[in-house]
Amino acid sequence: MTDLTAAAAHAPVLAAAADGDGGGAVGIATVVVLALLVLFVVVALVRSVRIVPQAVAMIVERLGRYSRTMDAGLHLLIPFVDRVRAGVDLREQVVSFPPQPVITSDNLVVNIDTVIYFQVTDPKSAVYEIANYIQGVEQLTVTTLRNVVGSLDLEQTLTSRDQINGQLRGVLDEATGRWGIRVNRVELKSIDPPQSVQGAMEAQMRAERDRRATILTAEGVKQSQILTAEGEKQAAILRAEGAAQSAILTAEGESRAILQVFDAVHRGDADPQLLAYQYLQTLPKIAATPANKLWFLPSELSGVLGQLADGFAGTGGGDGSGRRARKASPVRPEDLPPSALEDPREALERARRESERAAEEATSSGTRSGRPFSAEAERGQAATGAGGLAGPGGVNGGTPSAGGPPPEGPGPSGSSAAGPGGPA
């Protein structure tokens, strides 16, 4: 009974405790639901807001179908309905492919390394038209390169890089246009022929350079010899011209000298006595040479000495005075070649003019200094100046010129009236 009573007493307490446990479980469940709801909202907001960076395009699909292409900027999506399929880089890309073995038309295998410069122009086509456009560009480049190089030999392949680049770019640009890709440039980084071929090419190049060097050396030697021969030719011509001019001038001088001597001999009418005297003067010069050990005298020497003795004795002459009449010279003045020497008569006239000018200057200077200068002194100075020219040492006293006039007549003892020197 007691136990029943105690149990009855504790029953309300136990019921109250049970009600309290049920209310706590409901509160925890509510908190969990609220937390999940907040998390869902946050995830939905994160997925609905998308920021696209510059030079990137994003493909958006709605329920599995293409919806739109998002450019750079802030965009909103419908959560769990729209999703981003892929992001495409719109910048120009550079892809270097590994070396590919290519066979040329002359059956040589060369390894060609290529570089492709391309840019995506249509992101939708680049995503939906081909699975991997980079791999597609690579394989297309390899096949096109083999087609292009297969029609060229090794030498054309090595020297026609621009042509190969242009053909590759044209084919790739046409084929990748439907993929939304534009190929800007195609470059061949390297063309590596086999080692044996490289050795042969180096030997050929070395031989070609040696040949060019030999040709250039021969050309230089040829030009040098031509220039040397040309210089020697011109020098010989100049020497010959100089020798010819010298010979001509010497001949003209000798001709004039001979004509002048001939004229002087005819004008002076040299007799055998003078010739014999000249002959005797020449004999010592012949004998004075040290190399002459033996010299001969002509047989006419006795006759020449006899004529010389008769000439000094005064027996040679038809008029008893020892002189003969002078002959007229066969040499005319116009026969003489032109000479640079001054005519004695002109020299005399010039000397007289200079003496008169000096006398006038002396007269004017004497008048200025206060000392009178008389006319007699002036005439004396003029006579003195002219006498210096007319004496034995002057112009009139020297040897008569070949072109001068003949003397008017014989003077005493065979001299002219102008002085002992010769004709006036």
Give SS3 for 382: helix
C-alpha separations of 181 from 144, 148, 173, 276, 394 in Å: 17, 22, 8, 127, 117
pLDDT in tens, 299-310: 555 665 666 566
List of residues 6+ apart from 201 with CB closer than 8 A: 193
pLDDT at 311 over 90: no
pLDDT in tens, 90-125: 999 999 888 888 888 888 889 998 899 999 999 999
- The mean pLDDT of the chain is 73
What is the CATH code of the structural domain delimited by 93-193? 3.30.479.30
Give SS3 for 411: coil
Q: What is the pTM of this model?
A: 0.43
pLDDT band at 290 (very low <50, low <70, confident <90, very high): low
Query: Beta strands of 175-303 (E only): which ranges?
Result: 181-192
Q: Which of 116, 195, 190 shows the shortest CA–CA distance to 157?
A: 190
Backbone angles phi, psi at 327, to 5 degrees: -95, 155
- Separation of CA 134 from chain center: 54
pLDDT band at 336 (very low <50, low <70, confident <90, very high): low
pLDDT at 52 over 70: yes
Q: So where are the chain's domains?
A: 23-87, 93-193, 342-398
For residue 111, the cross-strand partners are: 101, 192
What pLDDT is stored for residue 249 in this prediction?
Answer: 86
CB 59 within 8 A of CB 43: no
DSSP 8-state secondary structure symbol assigned to residue 402: T
What pLDDT is stored for residue 230 in this prediction?
Answer: 92
Radius of gyration (C-alpha) of the chain in whole angstroms: 68
List of residues 6+ apart from 82 with CB closer than 8 A: 60, 61, 62, 67
Q: Give the span between the Cα atoms of 57 and 88, in whole angstroms.
A: 5
- The alpha-helical segments, DSSP class H, found in 98-194 are 123-128, 133-149, 154-159, 161-175
pLDDT in tens, 211-231: 999 999 999 999 999 999 999
What pLDDT is stored for residue 121 in this prediction?
Answer: 92
pLDDT at 397 over 60: no
pLDDT at 363 over 50: yes
Number of other CB atoms surrounding residue 315 within 10 Å: 11
Helix, strand and coil in the chain, % to nearest 5: 60, 15, 25
pLDDT in tens, 129-175: 998 888 888 899 889 888 888 888 888 888 888 888 888 888 888 88
pLDDT at 358 over 80: no
pLDDT in tens, 240-258: 988 988 888 888 888 888 8
